[in-house]
Structure formats: structure tokens, C-alpha cells
Amino acid sequence: MPRVLAAVKSFPAEFRPAPKDQRRRMSSPTLTSRPGGALVGRVRAPGDKSISHRALILGALAEGETQIEGLLEGDDVVRTAEAMQAFGAGVERLGEGRWRVTGQGELTEPADVVDCGNSGTGARQIMGAAARVAIAATFTGDASLRRRPMARVTDPLTQMGALAVTRAGGRLPLTLRGGALKRISYRQPVPSAQVKSALLLAGLGPGVEVIETDPTRDHTERMLAAFGASLHVEARETGRAVRLEGGQRLTGTRVRVPGDPSSAAFPLVAALIVPGSEVTVLGVLLNPLRAGLFETLIEMGADLTISNRREDGGEPVGDITARHSALRGVEVPPDRATSMIDEYPILAVAAAFAEGPTAMRGVGELRVKESDRIALMAAGLQACGVMVEEEPEGMIVTGLARANHPVQGGATVRTHGDHRVAMAHLVMGLAAEAPIEVDEPGMIATSFPGFEALMRGLGAAIGTPGPAEAR
């Protein structure tokens, strides 16, 4: 049996991603949300996806044992766990969210193609980690990932000395051969934490400097330090420079994964738009490079309070309470985009319930996420009766709250398998006049496996439509 398959078999069935063709059959073809009563309760957000990927990858690159608590057991992260096993690390699930990774200090050549599923974060970071050593690995992913740009990571890795054989346009599948890398100083043309992380992982041997004009999430920097690496971060006139000297050795450690703000955003925005609601999400990561949505919602007039601020696992966390609020449109500063890049779909929903226009600009990157999120959010909102102007690098959503013009809903939204587009529209349906249905709901499990149950626990009417609900 190929090694990667044997590896998959050692995971409990419930955390094994279904093969692509089965996933659609297994899950219901659609999920529907409908307006109902207030949402009330206290919930815990699932583990942060970005930190979960990094904990597994750094654990595999380190020498010795890494114990992880609170790991997100979503499909994307399980793919990374399987990949790390395929690259020679020991990966075991000890209990809910508790995993142990045993690394040898180096990755070894995988026996088969590495399938990263839907995850750009997994694929790009693992490429960086693999480029460090003289091995060849072939990467692929699902239809969405195979459309996403990979040259942004293979170009700088090639400059460091790796060899990449890609399809036209630099898409997956691609084969990478690493080893004997040289140190480079790389100024990112597009701010990307995934690319920065890939280069830092590749640079553990030769050293590397990455300069970013807009600072992106710094979990890799924080976690590398926790694994014993020494980094220098410097604010320069030209941008934020992260420098890693060569010859770094990582040692296994304990990682506690805080709650994902990108997932917490869905129940919190639901509470803001459904009258009478009050929802608290416990233990949410409050890293300033991830908190742009909360800042924006507060500017929009949201009643959001943060309590019990504390430090957990080297990251700031807190409990966030959202109460139903009268929102007003705002202009989101483009330089805030990196701190809320995954939150624009749910912000667009909040904007639909606000008074006046909310302008989201300088976010062309949204077109190369799991889907073209500008096009899909504009189409979905328009189908639900919301005014949206689409721009090449952004969109303007105009809410008509004061004119008492409700969001109509009553549409079936095509998500192109994008988990965040699906969850955003399901949240919108809770406060619209008529139910909203989304296709491919099985993909929500890539980042938020318990989404439906968690929302229902708060009182949300989300489920598969029964015969009585046929429209």
C-alpha cells in the first residue's frame, strides 16, 4: 500500500477527509438558513487554522516531540497532518484536539503525490519546508487549489536554488526538488503570510530575509521562536523585514492553539444582525495582525466587548461578546486588508444590514482565494436583493437599514466549494426575509467542522430543507 494511504488509515475515520468525489455524495447537496429568533449563548471557537497548520509543520521539522492542544480538526489541517506523515514525521491523534508530532529534524522524500486538498496554506508552507532538503515531492490539491497561483512561492524558492516543474501558469500539480539552497533577501510583491512562512521554513538552513510592505500574520515568526529559532524583526522605511540566520535547529515543544478569529466571526456577526441576540465566543485569538474585522465592526457601531484578555500559547486571546447592533457603513482602509483578509465575505454580510455604503478596496487578493470571493459575494448578495458594486480590486455594499429595507434572501447561492462564502450566506439567511440556501455545504468542514451544530446550539435555524420547507 502506498505510504501516504497507510498514513491516512491511521487517522480515526471521522478525521479522514473523504475523497473528493465522495465528499459531495456524503454530505447533503445544500444547507439552508432561515430567519428565526434571537441567538443567545456562549461557545468556543474551533482552533485557529493558521496556527494548527504551522504547529504540525514545525513539529515535523523539529527534533523530538511536539504536543499540540486545541488543534483544528478540519479537513485542511488533517491534510497537513497526513502530509507530515508522508514526509516521515510521526503524527498521532491522542484525543480531541490533542496531537503528538515526532520529528527527526529533517523531512524525508514522500513515496507518493502529496494532496493538500483545498488548502493553499498547507500546500505553500509545506513546499517551503520540503525545499530545504535534497528530496523531490509532487504536490496537488482539489479543483480549487489547482486553480490558485503557486508561482508566488515557487519563484522565490527557485531563486534560493530549488527546482520547480510546474504546469503553465505555475499551477498545481507541481514537482519540487530542493536542497543546497542559498540565502536570499526577498521583497514580497504581494503581501502573503503563506509565502513569507514558506521562505522562512526554506531559510532555516541557509538563512533568509523577507520584506513585506504590509505586515501579515506573524504566527510563523512567533512559533519559530517557541521552537528555539532566533529571528530578527525590524521595521524599516521600506517595510517590515524578518531575518533568519542560517543553521537553525528546531526542538519539539508544546503548542496551545487559540480559537480562530476567522471562524468566531460567523457567530459574532450573526449576533450583530439578528435582533435580540447576545453571543459570546470564548478564547478567541486577538493577535493584532488578525483583528482587523473586529476593529472595522466597532467603527460600524457594533456592540462588541472583549473580556478576560490573557496570553495563551504565546498569543493574546480574549472572550468576545456581540449584541444586536445598529450598524453604519464605513470605508475600510486598504492597509487593514492583511489583518482581515479572510473576513471580507462575512464583513460584506454585516454591511448588507448597515445603513449606507461600506467600501472594501485594495483587496484584489480575494479573487485568488478558495474562490473569486469578490465575484461570488457580489453575486450571492445581489441574488438576495442587496446593492453591490463590484470593482476590479474590491466591492461596495450598500445597506439600507434606515429606510427599513430588509435583505430579501430567498435565493440559492453557488459557493464554488468555498467554505467562507457558504458560511457568510448562511449567516445572512438568519436575518433575511426569506431563507437562503447554499450548495456544497460539505466544504464548510475545511475550516469549521462543527459550524452547523454550533450555530444551532445558539438558536440558529440552519439545516437541510425538509419536504415541508420546499419553496
Nearer to ligand S3P among residue 35 and residue 345 (C-beta)? 345
To the nearest whole angstrom, how small is the minimum distance from the Cβ of residue 342 to ligand S3P?
Answer: 5
User: 132 with 202: CB under 8 angstroms?
Assistant: yes
Nearer to ligand S3P among residue 66 and residue 216 (C-beta)? 216
Nearer to ligand S3P among residue 292 and residue 435 (C-beta)? 292
Nearer to ligand S3P among residue 32 and residue 121 (C-beta)? 121
Per DSSP, the three-state class of 315 is strand
From the list 10-18, 189-197, 246-254, 314-322, the region that binds ligand S3P by CB under 6 A is 189-197
To the nearest whole angstrom, how small is the minimum distance from the Cβ of residue 214 to ligand S3P?
Answer: 10
User: 118 with 370: CB under 8 angstroms?
Assistant: yes
Per DSSP, the three-state class of 75 is helix
To the nearest whole angstrom, how small is the minimum distance from the Cβ of residue 351 to ligand S3P?
Answer: 20
Site string for ligand S3P, 352-371 (x = CB under 6 A): -------------x------
For the sheet with 387-391, list strands across it: 331-332, 355-360, 394-400, 387-391
Binding ligand S3P (rule: CB under 6 A), the pick from 188, 194, 277, 296 is 194
To the nearest whole angstrom, how small is the minimum distance from the Cβ of residue 51 to ligand S3P?
Answer: 8
Q: Is 443 in the site for ligand S3P (CB under 6 A)?
A: no
Nearer to ligand S3P among residue 124 and residue 132 (C-beta)? 124
Q: Is 396 in the site for ligand S3P (CB under 6 A)?
A: no
From the list 37-45, 188-196, 248-256, 389-397, the region that binds ligand S3P by CB under 6 A is 188-196
Q: Is 342 in the site for ligand S3P (CB under 6 A)?
A: yes
Binding ligand S3P (rule: CB under 6 A), the pick from 132, 217, 324, 419 is 217
First to last CA, the chain: 48
To the nearest whole angstrom, how small is the minimum distance from the Cβ of residue 153 to ligand S3P?
Answer: 9
Q: Which single residue is written with the C-alpha cell 490558485?
A: 148
Q: How far apart are CA 60 and CA 53, in angstroms?
A: 11
Report the DSSP beta bridge partners of residue 210. Answer: 186, 242
To the nearest whole angstrom, how small is the minimum distance from the Cβ of residue 106 to ligand S3P?
Answer: 23
Binders of ligand S3P among residues 145 to 164 (CB under 6 A) are: none
Q: How far apart are CA 451 and CA 43, in angstroms?
A: 11
Instruction: Quote the cell numbers at residue 115.
Output: 494532496
From the list 29-37, 155-163, 186-194, 351-359, the region that binds ligand S3P by CB under 6 A is 186-194
Q: Is 192 in the site for ligand S3P (CB under 6 A)?
A: yes
Q: Is 193 in the site for ligand S3P (CB under 6 A)?
A: yes
Site string for ligand S3P, 102-121 (x = CB under 6 A): -------------------x
To the nearest whole angstrom, how small is the minimum distance from the Cβ of residue 312 to ligand S3P?
Answer: 18
Q: How far apart are CA 188 and CA 190, in angstroms?
A: 5
Q: In the complex, which residue's CB is closest to ligand S3P?
A: 50
User: 139 with 171: CB under 8 angstroms?
Assistant: no
Per DSSP, the three-state class of 342 is helix
Report the DSSP beta bridge partners of residue 323. Answer: 278, 303
Q: How far apart are CA 417 and CA 244, in angstroms?
A: 37
To the nearest whole angstrom, how small is the minimum distance from the Cβ of residue 194 to ligand S3P?
Answer: 4
Q: Is 455 in the site for ligand S3P (CB under 6 A)?
A: no
Give the containing element (helix H, strand E) for 72.
Answer: none
From the list 187-195, 266-274, 289-297, 327-335, the region that binds ligand S3P by CB under 6 A is 187-195
Each residue of 374-397: b (16+ CB within 10 Å) or e?
Answer: bebbbbbbebbbbebeeeeebbbb
From the list 23-31, 192-200, 374-382, 431-439, the region that binds ligand S3P by CB under 6 A is 192-200
Pairing of strands 30-34, 461-463: antiparallel
Q: Is 346 in the site for ligand S3P (CB under 6 A)?
A: no
Q: What is the DSSP string of 194-221?
A: HHHHHHHHHTTTT-EEEEESS----HHH
Q: How far apart are CA 315 and CA 222, in angstroms?
A: 8
Q: Is 73 in the site for ligand S3P (CB under 6 A)?
A: no
The one catalytic residue in 142, 214, 342, 418 is 342
Q: Which of 362, 394, 371, 338 is nearest to 148 (CA)?
A: 371
User: 461 with 442: CB under 8 angstroms?
Assistant: no
For the question of residue 75 being annotated catalytic, the response is no
User: 446 with 261: CB under 8 angstroms?
Assistant: no
Provide φ and ψ at 171, rounded to 5°.
-95, 165
Q: Catalytic residue positions? A: 342
Task: By CB under 6 A, name the binding residues for ligand S3P.
Answer: 50, 121, 192-194, 197, 216-217, 341-342, 365
